């Protein structure tokens, strides 16, 4: 496969500290224009991986290619096209947003007009002249993202960007991230320990557990994987179950309720079960599909990864 298909590709990426394997044999593939959710519990190796992708620490073994080029060989030219926000944004509290961005602009040497552009992107234009010490946490985070966008990057890497934010702040950052590929053509890697957060913005996810990549696929495929059952609310659950057991249907009685769980969502099987119950004189009050939550699937994948890692 052509390397240029991937904005980021790692092969066998590993990092060891004092004999402890923090990241192990990681093979990431992140395509252009994607929002890639990099998921895992705290301490799973996400931040270490991100630091390696940004050239802040060297891998023990393995290769990193970004924009189809070796990070080891072409580090500076690659990093010029990457914006990042790792951990908490560092701002000068006594300065306003414009002055904070001006300090960075001097270092990376971009036109002065870029400051107004990035403030507009993150929605801070009207607060641009206020001292940052008066900003909410969400506003400070948006200013951090503005700093990351200042150099007009093709790739944006954000480490836990919604950490510590209130629901309104989380929503603001999420909406901002979702705009990046659509409006600005920027590929985004966003790390988080919360699937519920990432599933609302990412198109692709990779799950890391104890330094190993235990899952990498589209959100859509993950949603398909979440198991579904049909729940039937009936008048006499014990007798109704017996009717379906005799027909060798995958049926269980939900504890202390008048609900039967049919282990299939196949339309013919569901219709057959309902028909059999009605013919046997049972009332069927409700038929509904219930899926295992993505959160539960995520926890199952992480748990499985824990077992494989040990």
Summarised one tens digit per residue, pLDDT across range 252-284 is 888 767 888 888 778 888 899 999 999 999 999
Burial of 281 (0-12, 13-18, 19+ CB in 10 A): exposed
Q: Which pLDDT does position 148 carry in this prediction?
A: 94
Q: Which pLDDT does position 58 carry in this prediction?
A: 95
Q: Which pLDDT does position 258 carry in this prediction?
A: 85
Q: Which pLDDT does position 199 carry in this prediction?
A: 85
Q: Which pLDDT does position 193 carry in this prediction?
A: 87
Spell out the domains of the chain, with CATH numbers in brackets: 3-221 (3.40.50.300), 228-291 (3.30.70.100)
Q: Which pLDDT does position 155 carry in this prediction?
A: 97
Low-confidence ranges of the chain (pLDDT < 70): 1-4, 226-227, 256, 291-293, 305-310
Give pLDDT tens digits for 299-309: 777 777 666 65
**End-to-end alpha carbon distance in the chain:** 33
Q: Which pLDDT does position 1 carry in this prediction?
A: 39
Reading the block at residue 194, the tokens are 């919360």
Provide the whole-model pTM: 0.78
Q: Which pLDDT does position 83 carry in this prediction?
A: 95
φ, ψ (nearest 5 deg) of residue 52: -70, -40
Long-range contacts formed by 258-262: CB under 8 A, 24+ apart = 258/233, 258/234, 259/231, 259/232, 259/233, 259/234, 260/231, 260/232, 260/234, 261/229, 261/230, 261/231, 261/232, 262/229, 262/230, 262/231, 262/232
Q: Which pLDDT does position 29 carry in this prediction?
A: 95
């Amino acid at each position: 496969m052509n390397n240029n298909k991937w904005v980021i590709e790692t092969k066998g990426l590993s990092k060891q500290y004092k004999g402890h394997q923090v990241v192990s044999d990681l093979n990431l593939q992140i395509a252009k224009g994607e929002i890639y959710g990099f998921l895992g519990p705290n301490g799973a190796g996400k931040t270490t991986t991100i630091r390696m992708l940004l050239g802040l620490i060297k891998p023990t073994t393995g290769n990193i290619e970004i924009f189809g080029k070796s990070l080891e060989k072409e580090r500076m030219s690659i990093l010029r096209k990457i914006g990042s926000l790792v951990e908490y944004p560092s701002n000068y509290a006594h300065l306003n947003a414009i002055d904070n961005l001006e300090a960075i602009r001097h270092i990376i040497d971009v036109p002065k007009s870029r400051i107004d552009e990035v403030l507009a992107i993150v929605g801070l234009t009207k607060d641009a002249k206020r001292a940052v010490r008066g900003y909410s946490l969400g506003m400070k985070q948006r200013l951090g993202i503005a700093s990351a966008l200042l150099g007009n990057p093709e790739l944006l890497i954000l480490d836990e960007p919604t950490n510590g934010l209130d629901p309104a702040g989380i929503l603001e950052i999420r909406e901002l991230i979702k705009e990046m590929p659509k409006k600005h053509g920027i590929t985004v890697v966003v790390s988080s320990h919360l699937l519920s957060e990432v599933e609302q913005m990412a198109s692709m996810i990779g799950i890391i557990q104890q330094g190993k990549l235990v899952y990498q696929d589209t959100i859509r495929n993950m949603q398909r994987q979440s198991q579904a059952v049909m729940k039937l609310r009936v008048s006499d659950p014990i007798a109704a179950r017996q009717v379906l057991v005799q027909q060798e249907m995958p049926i269980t009685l939900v504890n202390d309720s008048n609900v039967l769980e049919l282990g299939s969502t196949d339309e013919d099987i569901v219709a057959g079960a309902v028909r059999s119950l009605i013919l046997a004189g049972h009332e069927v009050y409700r038929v509904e599909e219930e899926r295992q939550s993505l959160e539960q699937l995520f926890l199952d994948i992480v748990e499985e990864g824990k077992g494989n890692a040990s």
